[in-house]
Structure 1
Amino acid sequence: MLSLLLGLGLPVALHVYIGLRLFTAPGWPAPWAAVGWGLLGLCFLVLLAGFRAARREATGFSRVIQWGAYLWLGAFGVFLTAVLASDVVGAALSLSGTVTDMHALARGRAAAVLGTVVPAVAFAFVTARGRARVERTTVALQDLGPGLEGIRVVQLSDVHVGPTLDGVWLQRVVDQVNALKPDLVAITGDLVDGSVDELRDQMTSLASLEAPLGVYYVTGNHEFYHGARAWMAEVARLGITVLTNEHRVVERGGAKLVVAGVTDHDAGHIDPPLESRPDLALAGAPPDVPRLLLAHQPRTALSLQGLRVDLQLSGHTHGGQIFPFMFFVKLQQPVVQGLATVAGTRVYTHRGTGYWGPPMRLGPSPEIAVLTLVGAPRSDGDSSQA
């Protein structure tokens, strides 16, 4: 009981802080302050009910409550950021002597926060639920033979089918991918937010992904929260190649490419036999063939010393998903989005096709990546690694 009360203490305090700044300090005329506090309290109760509903069997009512909880969770983060920013600006104006009427300042800050956050939350919702943006990037790989020149790798990541993303939405994503006519499809983890029993019927459209050189999948951390082994078996049943610390060699026109994949960076903490092993994934791979590594978290690149990897495809970060959280993601991951070099390895970090938790994206839009691979001349002195 004590731990529950302590756990609720911070969320309650932050909600009270928002209410004081937006509804009490401005001194709004009756009944608006009371209405604001009432709505804030209702949102907090919906948030608590949503977390409780997530642990029970899904019903129509529980889904509505979960939707409300996720929406407020995202909006709460945006409100908190805006209120904090308004306090900083207000303090600066007060200290500088620019503003002396504190009541007018409080009312102006509250109006600015409400006038900014409400449309921002609406925009974030529409962005998250809209069509994914196709991001096209060309990457030059040494030793890529002419037969694979211009190969198009289409990457999906962080799809997160679950409480608020269903099979209808996933079918739209699959149709969008197939319209791009990929040569190879890579799915770099966090495919689901739920168990196989809960989501099996929502995932069937994955079987219709089309790519002549194959569709490949690696687990993310969220699969390990919902039964990674069961999901690996289910994805394989849908006709997709699951790479569990292993690789395949694809060939076209006499040219070859190694496609390797590892389990999530932190998998070993949950299921030790499924620990991420880049060395095992690349064991026996031909040394003179370019290597593509699918690894959910970008920081896997930090553990590739002594291994040749020409390009790592990752996700996990969602690009930060909701401003300003991309700045905190940078504390854990070496890159937040796009193509970068990490510890000598080029890493493409996908912003995510879906979203986690709040159905919102404020800043980074959902993504489907198209990576076109081209050959690069080998300079003198270059040598392959094991």
Structure 2
Amino acid sequence: MYKIQTLNKISANGLSEFPLDCYEVADDLPNPVAMLVRSFNMHQMNLPLSLSAVARAGAGTNNVPVQALTERGVVVFNTPGANANAVKELVLLAMLASSRNILAASAWVKTLMGQGDKIPELAEKGKSQFIGPELAGKTLGVIGLGAIGVLVANSAVGLGMRVIGYDPFISVDGAWHLNRDVIRAENLESLVAKSDYITVHVPLTNDTVGMIDAAQIKNMKAGVRLINLAREELAISADILSALSSGKVASYVSDFASEDMLAHPKVLCLPHLGASTPEAEENCARMAAKQVRDFLEKGAVANSVNFPECRMEAGIPAGGMRLCVANRNEPNMIGQMATVLADEKLNVSAMVNQNRNDLAYNLIDVEGEASPVTLDRIVGIDGVLSVRVIFARG
């Protein structure tokens, strides 16, 4: 019986991916083999030694201690693209709301309550203070062309916008799905200088933190509208507020509320609504659950943020076992494992080895069953982070 601990409320439809006959799923379980998490901060947790996998039902993993888990050979999954449509729709709403002053106009017209029959005339006279530009014909700069960025760019083309995209690490899949009318920017400076609207869709890393700062704002058009639904720390708040006050930036839409942002009249703050749709929550939960199942039952790794993608197409040989070994990507690791198995007269029927930077992951199918001593010898190899065994069903 596999024990799965949920650290947040996870969509019931997503959790239904775990069959009840071999999975126990609850929010308080001793010695879970895997955890599912959304926004819960895991950095202060005392993580059990039984843990083999953590799945984040969402894209970002800032709330997960990835490095500490990696040192223990624990695979960390995320669900890229599962909430992409929800975020895309919110970006389009943000562009429209920031352009047409929808919220301010709605708040103002409510002040006319009590004026009775005069309301239509008063509303007509006052509407000029909320005039805002149309999106058609304007230029949108999309920073980051992953699953979300591609959807945003393609939708903006459909709205009649000129779209510029920048992503030096765009994937082949992203490039295939990108509308041919999206213009490729050579660098970030080129994109911000030409854009009337700018939206950011990159992960938070040491290289991207504070990427929208005073220097980049200086390169922007006067009256630019900025949208940040990705991560608060991608923009320097003080620089944004200064640009808003000077008029350089016309408006800033952020999905991350803070005291200083809430105080500025040109900031539209949202309570982290990016993926807050029932469809996105279900998609993320289903994707996370399927990845965990595939990992626990077959050893497969897909959409991991720390270990390489790895899958064995063949099933585990009858009467045999599959070793799932996470290790540092160092010379002679495979040779040392093979030597241990050969010493025990265990035949390797199939093997897949994949590496990613300084880490590697192996699936090794063995005819017969390795003894606890054999497994201990593999665990004891310098550089091996974790070893997990899956037995053939039957």
User: What TM-score do the two structures reach when normalised by structure 1?
Assistant: 0.32
Which structure has more helix as a fraction of its residues?
A: 1
Which entry has the higher C-alpha Rg, 1 or 2? 2
Greater relative contact order (Cα < 8 A, sep 6+): 1
